[in-house]
Amino acid sequence: MQDLSRYVRQMRYPPMGEAGQQRLASTRALVVGCGALGTVIANTLVRAGVGKVRIVDRDFVELTNLQRQVLFDEDDLAADLPKAIAAANKLQRINRQVEVEPLVADVSPQNVEELTANVDVIVDGTDNFETRYLLNDIAVRDNIPWIYGGCIGAEGQSMTILPGETPCLRCLMPEPPPAGTTPTCDTAGILGPIVNVVASIESMEAIKILSGNRESISRSLTVIDLWDNRLRQVSVAKLREQMNCVCCQQHEYAWLAGSRGSHSAVLCGRNAIQLSPATAVQLSLEDLAKKLSPLGQVKLNRYLLRLIVDPYTLTIFPDGRAIIAGTDDIAEARTVYAKFIGT
Ligand SMILES: [Zn+2]
C-alpha cells in the first residue's frame, strides 16, 4: 500500500477522501503538449498523486517559454532539453511516487492509438486545433474522457468531453477555424495568469474524473476573460441532439484516418516550421552530426541534434522530425529539410 501521508490535506476534502485518493493513485493520465497549459496540468496532477502521468511534447525549451511555462528554468534552456524530458526530470523530484513517462513526439494519426492506450483521461495542453481534432476523434472512438482547454491573450476556455454523454469538440466547433483567422500567441500575446486558470480548471476536471467524482464534472463550456474579470458558463447540453455531429453521432473519424491534417505545422509564435517524415524512420543522430558538422555549427545531446546554418536553426529528433527556425514558409522549410536531412 502506498504511503498517502503527503496527500492528507487533499484527502480531508470530503468528496476526495482516502477512497478518492487511492483511486487517483491507480489511474493514468495523458497530458498532450507540455508548454504553458501542459506544465501547469502535469505539475498539478503529479503533485495530486495520479498514479501515472504520460507527457507528450514535440518541442524543446526556449527562452520565451520561461515567462509562463512553470516547470522550466534557465538550466533546461542551456542544456537544450526537450520539454517532455525537462518536465519529467523536475516532476520526479517533486513526487517519486508517481510514474512519469516523458515522450518526445508529435501526436499524429500514426502514434495516437499507442499514446492513448490504457489512459483514463486525456488532458489538452496543445496549442493547435489539428491535434485537438485528432484527440477528439480517438477519445470519442475509444470512449476516453478528455478535457479541452485553450487560451490566448488574457482569455481562455475549457470544456470536458465524456464520450456518449456530453457534446464533443466537433459538436461545439464542427470545423477547425481556418488557418490564419484566429489570433495566435504570436499575434495576440499571452499572459501567464490565464494559463494557470485554464490549466487549473482542466486539472480539477481530470481529478474529478480520476477520483471517481464524474457527477461533479462541468457540463458547460467555461469562458474566461481574466483582464475584464468575466467568467461565463455557456450551456452546451443540447448540442449533442442538435448538431448530428460527424464525429460523435455519425462516427466518422477523419482526423484519425489521416484524411484531414498534415505532416507540417507552423509553430505558434516562433517563426518556425515543424516537418515530419511521411513514414517512420529511426535516425542515428551521431551519424548525422558527423555528416553535418562541415556545414555549420552542430550541437548534440541524447535527445536532439541542432544545426545552426545562417539564417536557419534546425533541431532534429531521432524520429526524423525537424523544427526549422528562421522561416514561416512551409515550402522553404521543406527545401531546407531536403538539403540537410534528405527526404
Ligand atoms: Zn460531437
Give the N- to C-terminal CA distance of the chain in Å, as an integer. 52
Distance 96 CA to ligand 1 centre (A): 38
For residue 76, what is its C-alpha cell? 533546461
pLDDT at 132 over 60: yes
Q: Which of 141, 99, 147 is nearest to 246 (CA)?
A: 141
Quote the ligand 1 centre to 16 CA distance (angstroms). 30
246 Cα–ligand 1 center, Å: 7
**Ion ligand 1 residues within 5 Å by Cβ:** 168, 170-171, 245, 247-248
Q: Which residues contact 78 (CB under 8 A, 6 or more apart)?
A: none
- Span 225-244, pLDDT tens digits: 999 999 999 999 999 888 89
pLDDT tens, 74-107? Answer: 999 999 999 999 999 999 999 999 999 999 999 9
Cα 236 to averaged position of ligand 1 atoms, centre (Å): 11
pLDDT band at residue 263, thresholds of 50, 70 and 90?
low
| pLDDT at residue 176 in the model | 84
Average pLDDT (210-228) is: 97
pLDDT digits (tens, 9 = 90+) for 141-152: 999 999 999 999
Query: What is the distance in A from the centroid of ligand 1 to the CA of 27?
Result: 26
The yes-or-no verdict on residue 343 having pLDDT over 70 is no
The residue ranking higher by pLDDT, 137 or 186, is 137
Please say if the pLDDT value at position 267 is more than 80: no
- Residues 187-206: pLDDT tens digits? 688 999 999 999 999 999 99
- 185 SS3 class: coil
User: What's the CA-to-centroid distance between 148 and ligand 1, angstroms?
Assistant: 13
In angstroms, what is the span from residue 43 Cα to ligand 1's centroid?
Answer: 30
Number of alpha helices (DSSP H) and beta strands (DSSP E) in the chain: 13, 14
How far does residue 336's CA lie from ligand 1's centre (Å)?
39
Any alpha helices (H) in the chain, and if so which ranges? 8-11, 17-25, 36-48, 74-78, 83-94, 112-116, 129-142, 169-172, 192-210, 239-243, 254-257, 285-292, 330-340
Q: Which pLDDT score, from 0 to 100, does residue 331 have?
A: 83
Kindly indicate the confidence band of residue 340, based on its pLDDT and cuts at 50, 70 and 90. Answer: confident
Give the distance (Å) from ligand 1 centre to CA of residue 325.
36
Q: Give the pLDDT confidence of 35-72 residue by residue, as tens digits.
A: 999 999 999 999 999 999 999 999 999 999 999 999 99
Cα 170 to ligand 1 centre (Å): 5
Radius of gyration of the chain, Cα coordinates, nearest whole angstrom: 20
Residue 253 Cα to ligand 1 middle (Å): 11
Instruction: Tell me what pLDDT residue 180 has.
Output: 59
Distance 124 CA to ligand 1 centre (A): 17
Q: What is the pLDDT of residue 285?
A: 93
Mean residue pLDDT of the chain comes to 93
Distance 164 CA to ligand 1 centre (A): 9
Are 307 and 298 in contact by the 8 Å Cβ rule? The answer is yes
pTM for the complete prediction? 0.90
pLDDT digits (tens, 9 = 90+) for 156-187: 999 999 999 999 999 999 998 776 566 766 66
Confidence of residue 327 (pLDDT cuts 50, 70, 90): very high
Q: Report how far ligand 1's centroid is from the alpha carbon of 235 (Å).
A: 15
Peptide bond into 311 cis (omega under 30): yes
